[in-house]
Amino acid sequence: MNQIYLDYNATSPVRPEVLEVMLPFYMEQFGNPSSVHWAGRQVSGALEKAREQVASLINASPAEIVFVSCGSEGDNMAIKGSLDPLKEKGNHIITTAVEHPAVLETCEALEKDGYEVTYLPVSKDGQLDLADLEKAITDKTILISIMWANNETGNLYPIEEIGKIAKKYNIRFHTDAVQAVGKIPVDVQKANLDLLVISGHKIGAPKGVGAIYIRRGTRMKSFMHGGHQERNRRAGTQNVAGIVGLGKACEMAASEQKDYYKRVRAMRDRLEDGVLSQVPDIKLNGTPDRDDRLPNTLNVSFAYIEGESLLLNLDMFGIAASSGSACTSGSLEPSHVMGAMCVEVTLAHSSTRFSLGPETTEEEIDKVLEVLPATVQRLRDMSPLYNCGKTAEGCETCETVRRI
Amino acid sequence: MYTDKVMDHFTNPRNVGEIENANGVGEVGNASCGDIMKIFLKVEDNIIQDVKFKTFGCGAAIATSSMVTEMAIGKTIDEALELSNQAVAEALDGLPAQKMHCSNLAADALHEAIKNYKAGNG
């Protein structure tokens, strides 16, 4: 059976070109980049090359790039590392209700430590109202942390506009750009960003490596204490091979960006058009304006059925997707993103995300479109909610279970 | 994460549907936790002649519903009332720990249907 992987927002395979440049750094060029001898010198150059490759993709300077172990570490570092240097100014953070847990859980933990956090609401389409952002700003606001692209819906947030607001009020600005980098143009100068986080494994580099952009002159408190690596900003011997891989993946993303967008968007649009026209009673989660969404992401809820059972059925055909259902998260509540968007609770349980990659083919999309309608119907025929007079409309009163 | 038996009942669920002249119907679960199970009974002479189910829920919810219908057919209503969620899970060779509470409600739905039958024939 052919395997069809449509979960690239979860992770992506390491690209062959990336693996190829990484391999010498395991056995041949194994040195510690902090060492002065030949073995160390062999690898320190590779580290700096990778720094340039990452910086170039986001229009930063190499000195502004710090390598970390993953996106979550970068987000934790960006937020927690900003608190101490700005404590004289205040203790208020503004973020959104739809952030990745790496930001959301960090902010929730900080609330317990006495920090004030504003979670900006989103519309039913998952969009932000920037008037809400300006209203939330106080003279105690020290950080705005808003993701560039939402991992579940693919919604893009107006980072450049937010950057202007941050500049106007002189507030530090962080974005979790894990889903955006490599998929759409990302420019830290245009967006007036102080902090931006990248994850390797979302863009064809391995798991266990990421990077944070820290604008020159941005004071940060060390998050990890130890040696003097990364200009004293992140202790610990660098994951050289992973970093070399991340650099290569960024270089490839930069050169392929336009082609990638066109190609993957055509595939996603083919899937979206097919699903919307072939399956009745479904709800698109996220903005219907496809220009305001990542080119690779489609999130839909299939009324009357539950997400995990749909995923298991698709899995039998070799199709890998993901769901906002509680059953796939290990909790009893469906996705907080669906909750923040006021998606009716059974629809939240059935939200299904298809996230495409550069390798996704037309044949694969057509196979999904062949299998999906019948699979959905089979589960609907089993559902007590189907054909019982209830409609699949969204809720009016927002009774949805919400974590925030 | 699921046993072969769970996957078997999930992919080929037994007794899916409704009974037109059911004399006992029970529903448990709620939408917010993602599982709703509805059981239809045909009881004659205190014996469950037919059981059907409709379920909205995850793989475990569908498999336990299917299993409970197989276990209940032919039993007296008193015997069927002895069936526990635990017994259903065991008949499926177990469920993942996080599913034991949220998706293991099929015996409860059966009991509700029996109560409904008793109320109608009391």
Mean predicted lDDT score pLDDT of chain B: 93
* A-B C-beta contacts closer than 8 Å: 67
Closest approach of B44 to chain A, Cα-based (Å): 24
| Both structure tokens of A203 | 């863009």
Contact B116, B24 (CB under 8 A): yes
**Beta-carbon separation of B54 and A383 below 8 A:** yes
Residue A106 region, left (φ>0) first, then alpha (ψ -120 to 50), else beta? alpha
Query: Scanning the structure block, which residue is given the tokens 């990484």?
Result: A22
Cα four-point dihedral sign A99, A104, A110, A112? positive
Q: Across the interface, which of A326, A383, A384 has its CB nearest the CB of B34?
A: A326
**Beta-carbon separation of A309 and B38 below 8 A:** no
pLDDT in tens, A76-99: 999 999 999 999 999 999 999 999
Which residue of B lies nearest to A385 if distances are taken between CA atoms?
B56
pTM of the model: 0.93
Q: Across the interface, which of B11, B35, B56 has its CB nearest the CB of A304?
A: B56
Q: What pLDDT does residue A356 have?
A: 98
**Beta-carbon separation of B34 and A385 below 8 A:** no
Q: What pLDDT does residue A120 have?
A: 98
**What interface predicted TM-score (ipTM) does this complex get?**
0.93
pLDDT in tens, A187-220: 999 999 999 999 999 999 999 999 999 999 999 9
Cα–Cα distance measured from residue A27 to residue A240, given in angstroms and rounded to the nearest whole number: 12
Report whether pLDDT(A283) > 90.
yes
| Both structure tokens of A306 | 């539950």
pLDDT in tens, A128-186: 999 999 999 999 999 999 999 999 999 999 999 999 999 999 999 999 999 999 999 99
Q: What pLDDT does residue A394 have?
A: 40
* Angstrom distances, CA of residue B54 to CA of A193, A332, B83, B91: 52, 21, 19, 20
Q: What pLDDT does residue A398 have?
A: 41
Which amino acid makes up residue A381?
D
Cα–Cα distance measured from residue B104 to residue A310, given in angstroms and rounded to the nearest whole number: 18
**Beta-carbon separation of B34 and A325 below 8 A:** yes
Task: State the pLDDT confidence band at A389, using cuts at 50, 70 and 90.
Answer: low
Q: What pLDDT does residue A402 have?
A: 39
> A208: which residues sit within 8 A by CB, 6+ positions away?
A69, A70, A200, A201, A239, A242
Cβ-in-10-Å burial (0-12, 13-18, 19+) of A148 comes to buried
Share of chain A above pLDDT 70, in %: 95
Residue A212 region, left (φ>0) first, then alpha (ψ -120 to 50), else beta? beta
| Both structure tokens of B79 | 């015997």
- The CATH class that applies to domain B4-121 reads alpha beta
**B93-98 own/partner pairs: CB under 8 Å, 24+ apart:** B93/B3, B93/B4, B93/B5, B93/B6, B94/B3, B95/B2, B95/B3, B95/B6, B95/B60, B95/B64, B96/B1, B96/B2, B96/B60, B98/A330
Residues of B in contact with A382 (CB under 8 A): 13, 16, 54-55, 62
Cα–Cα distance measured from residue A198 to residue A174, given in angstroms and rounded to the nearest whole number: 12
Task: State the pLDDT confidence band at A392, using cuts at 50, 70 and 90.
Answer: very low
Report whether pLDDT(A391) > 60.
no
Task: State the pLDDT confidence band at A393, using cuts at 50, 70 and 90.
Answer: very low
B39 at the A interface (CB within 8 A)? no
Report whether pLDDT(A59) > 50.
yes
Q: What's the mean pLDDT in A9-17? A: 97
Domains of chain A, first to last: 4-9+256-381 (3.90.1150.10), 16-253 (3.40.640.10)
| Both structure tokens of A326 | 């509680």
Please tell me whether residue A292 adopts helix, strand or coil conformation: helix
One of A327, A388, A395, A398 is an active-site residue; which one?
Answer: A327
Residues of B in contact with A401 (CB under 8 A): 32
Which site among B4, B18, B33, B95 would you substitute to test the A interface, given the most A Cβ atoms closer than 10 Å to its Cβ?
Answer: B33
Q: What pLDDT does residue A390 have?
A: 53
Contact B6, B92 (CB under 8 A): yes
Cα–Cα distance measured from residue A255 to residue A34, given in angstroms and rounded to the nearest whole number: 31
Q: What's the mean pLDDT in A370-394? A: 83
Task: State the pLDDT confidence band at B122, using cuts at 50, 70 and 90.
Answer: low
Residues of B in contact with A316 (CB under 8 A): 11
CA neighbor of B67 nearest in space, from B107, B102, B98, B27? B107
CA neighbor of A213 nearest in space, from A57, A105, A89, A87? A57
Query: What is the full DSSP assignment across A72-89?
Result: HHHHHHHHHHHHGGGTTT
Cα–Cα distance measured from residue A255 to residue A53, given in angstroms and rounded to the nearest whole number: 11
Which site among A342, A381, A383, A395 would you substitute to test the B interface, given the most B Cβ atoms closer than 10 Å to its Cβ?
Answer: A383
Domain parsing of chain B, residue ranges: 4-121
Closest approach of B98 to chain A, Cα-based (Å): 7
Closest approach of A77 to chain B, Cα-based (Å): 32
pLDDT in tens, A328-353: 666 667 899 999 999 999 999 999 99
Please give the residue that has the higher pLDDT: either A330 or B5: B5
pLDDT in tens, B86-120: 999 999 999 998 888 777 899 999 999 999 999 98
Mean predicted lDDT score pLDDT of chain A: 94
Query: What is the full DSSP assignment across chain B?
Result: ---HHHHHHHHS-SSBS--TT-SEEEEEEEGGGTEEEEEEEEEETTEEEEEEEEEES-HHHHHHHHHHHHHHTT-BHHHHHH--HHHHHHHTT---TTHHHHS--HHHHHHHHHHHHHHHH-
Half-sphere exposure of residue A99: CA atoms within 13 angstroms, side-chain side: 30
B40 at the A interface (CB within 8 A)? no
